[in-house]
Structures are given as structure tokens and as C-alpha cells.
Amino acid sequence: MRTDEIWKKYQAIDPEARSFEAWSFCFGGEVGDRLADLVLKGIKTATASAHQIYALEGSPLPKEGDLSIILRSDGEAACIIKTTGIKVCKFLEVSPEHAYEEGEGDRTLDYWRRVHREFFSEELAAHNIEFSEEMLVVCEKFKVVLQ
């Protein structure tokens, strides 16, 4: 479904909804599609992002109540999610519960740290910033509001 189509469908349910962000997990591709599928199955109910990137891109931090259209690699909408909670903490302070809620791999904190260390290292390197385990991470919880 196209972004405009799913948004119109959502506004029929919630006429007060005025804005959304559209994005893909892990910048799209096969991994992004796999993560979108985990969301649709109810396995993935959280995500994490590098705090520094928001300032670099001039974007506001996500907040409770925000709506996002999750995109597939082909640009089609997978679903709409609503942010239900935000916590900013150091990379090393991300909880085992958050790692589990992200729904990836074996859902352990060790797995989460390994794959996110790699992801954040690549993402930050594109901005000439070195990864640090002291870096701030935006931990976001969400629920699917429309498939």
C-alpha cells in the first residue's frame, strides 16, 4: 500500500491525526524488510537510534504519541506505528528488556549490543564520528495501530 493510501485509511480511524514520519528500519533493504515483518508479527515492539543523529540531521527526537509509517524496501507501507514510550540512555545502559522488545536475533542483550555496535559504528562513521559505548541511545517503544 502506498504511504498516502495507508495514511488516509488511518485518518478514517483517527481524524485528529495530522502528521507522520515515514521511514525504514536500518535504512531499508532486506534487513529493513525483515524487521518490518517482525513488527507485523508482534515480535518487534521497540527500536533504538543514535541520539547524535537527530541533531546532525536537524530532526526532533521522537516523543510519545508520534505516528510513523514503516516502509519496505520497495517504498510501500508495511504499517503505521505509534510511539508509546521514549527513554534516552547510554549504549551500555540499554536494558535486557529493551533488547528483548526489539525482537531481533535471540533477543538477548549480548546480541543487541553486538549488532547495534556494528550498526551505530557505520552510521556514525558516515558523519566522521567514532562509536562510543558511552554514546546516548534513544530507546523507543511502539505499537502497531494499522496494518
Q: Output the domain CATH number for residue 130.
A: 3.10.400.10
Q: Residues 85-137: pLDDT tens digits?
A: 999 999 999 999 999 999 999 999 999 999 999 999 999 999 999 999 999 99
Into how many domains does the chain fold? 1
> What percent of the chain has a predicted confidence (pLDDT) above 70?
100
Supply the pTM of this predicted model. 0.95
Q: Would you list the DSSP string of 20-88?
A: -EEE-GGGSHHHHHHHHHHHHTT---EEEEEHHHHHHHT-PPP-TT-EEEEEPTTS-EEEEEEEEEEEE
pLDDT on residue 27: 84
Instruction: Find the domain containing 46 and state its range.
Output: 3-11+18-143
